[in-house]
Structure 1
Amino acid sequence: MFSYRHAFHAGNHADVLKHLCLIACLDHLMLKPTPLTLVDTHAGAGGYPLDGAQARTSAESDHGVMRLLAAAQDSPPPAAVARYIDVLSQFNPTRWHHYPGSPRILQSLMRADAGDRLRLFELHPTDSRLLRKTMAATELPASQIAVTVKDGFEGLKALLPPPAGPGGSKRALVLMDPSYELKTDYARVSQSMQDALKRFANGCYLVWYPLIARPEAHQLPRRLKTLANQAGRAWLHATLSIGQAPGDEPGMRGLTASGMFIINPPHVLAEQLREATPWLMQALGQGKGQALQVETSA
């Protein structure tokens, strides 16, 4: 179960979709001054060198974030994309050689004075050590960041509902993006979301998943829609496919599509993604089947 390493995939088109949505959601939640509990259930190593041996094995960032950056040189990106690039630029002040994982993105947007808390889970023995080292080097007090070597599906339960801030406000954002190395992960995501909604229905929950030729991958968003509808919560479902380049055989380039399912999304997110769609497709699309589709409960 420990064969997956995100370092081989860092900065690919799936990371673009995931982190564009993550940043947009977090920016919206940060408009309120009350503290946030931020949780990443499958945190990975925290950051990845794009010029390292693992990242260059399949060079997936060349078809993801690097294509995005090249396109931004030719035409101004939409606001949500520009914000995504701006956040990543903080980690690449002189040249683009590093891709921050979700933990570093979350940490970079935290507010020390607001009392935000970051809780990270990672089971992989190597990645958990790297994650601890990475997060120990940040400037925030250790009390605001915790790295736990534990199954994130189980660890999340103890964090919901989140502690109340001044005035009794309880707020949380949860990112759940397992590797789906085990097909049982799909069912565990559904079960975890069902439990989370019972414990704290008001949380902002982001679930990433790969769009692959496996029944569980196509069933997952349908199950999450059902859970959100039963709980009376708004939802947004976005899928990004970069398509099939001319001459490619189906499946020869690995993952070509992924999805984000968000429960209690910011009301502005659907408009932001739709506004960005033409530009993103021009930047990332590679042929037949390319699309960015956004569906909402409203």
Structure 2
Amino acid sequence: MNYRHAFHAGNHADVFKHIALLALCDALTAKPAPLFALDTHAGRGLYALDGNSAQRTGEAEGGIGRLLAEAPKQPLIGRYLAAVRACRQAHGAAAYPGSPWLLAHALRADDRIAACELQPEEAAQLKHAFAGDERVAAHQRDGYAAMKALLPPRIGETRYNRGLVLIDPSFEAQLAEFDTALAALRDALGRWPQGVYALWYPIKRRRALQPFYRRAATLPAKSVMTAELLVRADDSPLRMNGSGLLVLNAPWHFDQQLQAVLPTLARTLGESADAAGAVQWLKQPE
């Protein structure tokens, strides 16, 4: 496995994914019961945008760089930018928070987080980043295997009936990754059906995703939706033209929140007139 997220931290896909992640966290923490969050492909948790990797690609300039410069007046964007600024106050002016950092930032003292990363160097950085946070357990392990091992979640005497699973693989296996992810989701729903699940995926040629949509609609969840952001036309197989989230058991009004923010993100992060965002229900809420 050669993927290193440090080259892509803060790009348009990260911006979209992290805005949605914070919205999910806020919806779940609106109720008092404690939560469990599992980040299956966590990376190192914290990135330096002035480092060699990020500077080599410059992708963050088209993502978080644009959003910070324009600071659109939209609640979900404001929430996300406040989290980025909090990260930079704690870790330096060029810091960028990965998903485990955002989970730790958004969740509460009695919530618990498991963050998994398979690559040894990245996992070591992840463990270091959260060494002082007793809420976060950082594991060097395969994320899909962790879904089998850690769901349904129980820590000590506490059973967690509510929570979130973020699945954010590298997609080095390209379309074959969807087979693995959908199988893992089906299995997890059988053991923790009430959890909220979010699978991030890249978009190159969108029409190639039609089999994925059809299979996702058959998952045994109460609801299945997609939210997608394209920054250019989706007709090039050689580049990531956008990204999406498959969300199972989405919180109430989550679809409306994303639908409201996607036009602003498309306008701010778009690289052509074809930039667009959309929310689609594959299975309507029961």
Fold shared, TM-score > 0.5 on shorter chain: yes
1:40 aligns with 2:44: no
8 A contact 1:243–1:289 mirrored in 2: yes
1:102 aligns with 2:99: yes
Alignment partner, residue 256 of structure 2: 271
* Equivalent-residue separation in structure 2 for 1:177 and 1:222 (angstroms): 20
Q: Secondary structure at the match of 1:128?
A: helix
* Equivalent-residue separation in structure 1 for 2:237 and 2:62 (angstroms): 15
1:189 aligns with 2:184: no
Greater displacement, 155-164 / 4-13? 155-164
Q: Secondary structure at the match of 2:280?
A: strand
User: Equivalences for 1:172-251 in 2 at 5 Å?
Assistant: 172-183=163-174, 184-213=176-205, 217-227=209-219, 231-243=220-232, 250=236
- AA aligned opposite 1:278: P
1:98 CA displacement:
1.2
Alignment partner, residue 133 of structure 1: 128
CA RMSD of superposed structures (Å): 2.3
1:108 CA displacement:
1.3
Counterparts in 2 of 1:226 and 1:125: CA distance versus 1, 3 Å: same
* Equivalent-residue separation in structure 2 for 1:214 and 1:175 (angstroms): 22
1:289 CA displacement:
2.1
8 A contact 1:37–1:171 mirrored in 2: yes
Counterparts in 2 of 1:30 and 1:210: CA distance versus 1, 3 Å: same
8 A contact 2:113–2:136 mirrored in 1: yes
Q: Which runs of 5+ in 1 are unaligned?
A: none
1:93 CA displacement:
2.7
Alignment partner, residue 140 of structure 2: 149
8 A contact 1:67–1:284 mirrored in 2: yes
8 A contact 1:34–1:166 mirrored in 2: no
TM-score (normalizing by structure 2): 0.90
Q: Secondary structure at the match of 2:152?
A: coil
1:159 aligns with 2:150: yes
Count of aligned residue pairs for this structure pair: 280
Q: Secondary structure at the match of 1:175?
A: strand
1:281 CA displacement:
2.0
Q: Secondary structure at the match of 2:30?
A: coil
* Equivalent-residue separation in structure 1 for 2:15 and 2:35 (angstroms): 24
Give CA-to-partner distance per residue, 1:256-296, whole Å, 9 cap, x none.
21110100112222111222233222211111421101112
Q: Which runs of 5+ in 2 are unaligned?
A: none
- AA aligned opposite 1:157: K
* Equivalent-residue separation in structure 2 for 1:135 and 1:218 (angstroms): 39
TM-score (normalizing by structure 1): 0.87
Sequence identity percentage: 38
Choose which of 70, 83, 90 in structure 1 pairs with 2:86.
Answer: 90
Greater displacement, 190-199 / 267-276? 267-276
Greater displacement, 182-191 / 87-96? 87-96
* Equivalent-residue separation in structure 1 for 2:232 and 2:122 (angstroms): 31
Q: Secondary structure at the match of 2:161?
A: coil
* Equivalent-residue separation in structure 1 for 2:156 and 2:210 (angstroms): 38
1:251 CA displacement:
6.2
1:57 aligns with 2:59: no
* Equivalent-residue separation in structure 2 for 1:118 and 1:216 (angstroms): 34
Give CA-to-partner distance per residue, 1:213-233, whole Å, 9 cap, x none.
498744333322221xxx251
